[in-house]
Homo-oligomer: A and B are copies of this chain.
Amino acid sequence: MATSPNSPTLRSWIDISPSSDFPIQNLPFGVFKTEERGTRLGVAIGGYVLDLYAASQYGFFEDLTELGAAQPKVFRRSSLNAFLRLGRPAWRAVRQRVSELLRHDASELRDHEEAVRACLIRQTEVQMLRPVKPANYTDFYSSIEHATNVGSMFRDPANALLPNWRHLPIGYHGRTSSIVVSGTNIKRPNGQRKAPDEAAPTFGLSHQLDFELEMAFVVGTGTTLGSTVPIGQAEEHIFGLCLFNDWSARDLQSWEYVPLGPFLGKNFGSSVAPWVVTLDALEPFRIAGPVQEPTPLPYLAHGGAHNFDIHLEVALTPAQGPETTISRTNFGFMYWSMAQQLTHHASNGCNLEVGDLYASGTISGPTPDSLGSMLELAWRGTRPVPLADGSERTFLLDGDTVIMRGYAEKEGIRIGFGEVRGTVVE
């Protein structure tokens, strides 16, 4: 019987630093580009990308019947979408096979010098692209700490959570066109805003540019219009997870958002990490979520462990300064699970599409140093966030780079997400 790709005893013949996000137990999927190779699908391993198209051409996936007639061309696309459409058996077969090719005692690839040169490229030599072409993008609002903080600041601290919040995972549709890959500069948006003490709105550059630390999951298996997804089957529709920064212009947002929700305060740009960590690789990190009170309605009720213990960090680097970690939190704090989000989303018959991105909403923890947005960290400008260079921030300045990182760790195995970074420019 084949060894599970998650087995903590596995090692690779590739030299991988213990602090790498990409040990052999991870094997996240992404899309890369080089001048020579064009656009291809790849898997991260240590400091390398395994070129799936090259591996397919060398015949390493020849016996994977799950791929049907799709290979090799499914590995030479500009997004994971076509690969995702092959379904979970295909995703699993490729990850399993890649694991077998890379394990320390496997010689098939290791001893084939030409194939090694063709299949393995240093990550520093490739350009990473947006991993999926998002078919649809939904942003949830599933951290009780974040929703409480925002409600306290903008509404009423005594009734910070709106009456519906504990009954359903609140979400809204976002914009897919402006989702960009990590490393893309974010232009400070112009927009209309009016502070409560101003007589009339003005139009100009946002003064309250913010980030939101989120995780997004990628839908790998869609549904048809009119069908629903029982909560027990929700995770079967999820391919994997990636880091996500939902950049927000708070001044635009607070003026425009009633009554139909966020719009131009958000859709000037969202950043997604290039590597999608499979739900399979995260199996060892399942934990129970917070107790939900009141108990959700039956269609949203699930026992067991549907949250994931993933450490998350936000760092900020000014144009000329050193990096400061400004938040440390955990994806496990989320009140509503991904399964609940997905089942709720489909509960009215709305069809899920392969390549859909569903983001968690800002991930905030219970302590002042575990908050997922500058709005909360600096508490609406009242407690500026100190940086290592001696400066401080209430919102983002031009030249600031925001870097989000995440990893799960157990028994010495670190399943990392790489990073999503973006620099504010204008």
List chain A positions with a Cβ less than 8 A from chain B.
135-136, 141, 162-164, 167-168, 170-178, 180, 187, 189-192, 194, 200-203, 225-226, 228, 249, 252, 255-264, 267-269, 294, 297-299, 344-345, 347-353, 356
Are B187 and A226 neighbours in the complex by a CB distance under 8 Å?
Answer: yes
Task: Please name the residue on chain B nearest to A191 by beta carbon.
Answer: B348
For the complex, give the distance between the alpha carbons of A311 and B10 in Å: 70
**Chain B residues in 8 Å Cβ range of A297:** 192, 201-203
**Chain B residues in 8 Å Cβ range of A356:** 177
For the complex, give the distance between the alpha carbons of A249 and B225 in Å: 16
Main secondary structure of the interface of A (DSSP, over half): loop
Are B350 and A268 neighbours in the complex by a CB distance under 8 Å?
Answer: yes
Are A267 and B350 neighbours in the complex by a CB distance under 8 Å?
Answer: yes
Q: How far is the CB of A188 from chain B (nearest CB, A)?
A: 9
Are A351 and B177 neighbours in the complex by a CB distance under 8 Å?
Answer: yes
For the complex, give the distance between the alpha carbons of A174 and B352 in Å: 14
**Chain B residues in 8 Å Cβ range of A187:** 225-226, 349
Q: How far is the CB of A425 from chain B (nearest CB, A)?
A: 9
- Closest 9 A-B residue pairs measured CB to CB? A261-B261, A189-B348, A172-B260, A173-B173, A260-B261, A268-B348, A187-B226, A267-B350, A264-B348
Are A258 and B164 neighbours in the complex by a CB distance under 8 Å?
Answer: yes
**Chain B residues in 8 Å Cβ range of A190:** 228, 347-349
For the complex, give the distance between the alpha carbons of A278 and B136 in Å: 27
**Chain B residues in 8 Å Cβ range of A163:** 194
Assembly of this chain: how many copies?
Answer: 2
New A-B contacts (4) at CB < 8 Å, excluding given A164-B258, A201-B297: A164-B256, A172-B263, A177-B225, A252-B348
Task: Please name the residue on chain B nearest to A222 by beta carbon.
Answer: B177
Q: Assess A350 versus B178: contact at CB under 8 Å? Given A164-B256, A192-B167.
A: yes
For the complex, give the distance between the alpha carbons of A225 and B185 in Å: 11
For the complex, give the distance between the alpha carbons of A356 and B267 in Å: 14
Are B173 and A267 neighbours in the complex by a CB distance under 8 Å?
Answer: yes
Q: Assess A264 versus B172: contact at CB under 8 Å? Given A187-B349, A297-B192, A297-B201.
A: no
Task: Among A163, A173, A344, A347, find the residue whose CB has the most chain B CB atoms closer than 10 A.
Answer: A173
Are B164 and A348 neighbours in the complex by a CB distance under 8 Å?
Answer: no
For the complex, give the distance between the alpha carbons of A419 and B424 in Å: 46
**Chain B residues in 8 Å Cβ range of A201:** 164, 167-168, 297
Between-chain CB contacts (< 8 Å), 10 pairs: A164-B255, A167-B200, A170-B260, A173-B263, A177-B356, A187-B225, A192-B344, A200-B294, A203-B297, A267-B350
Q: How far is the CB of A361 from chain B (nearest CB, A)?
A: 9
Are B264 and A345 neighbours in the complex by a CB distance under 8 Å?
Answer: yes
For the complex, give the distance between the alpha carbons of A353 and B202 in Å: 27
Q: Assess A173 versus B171: contact at CB under 8 Å? Given A164-B258, A258-B164, A260-B141.
A: no
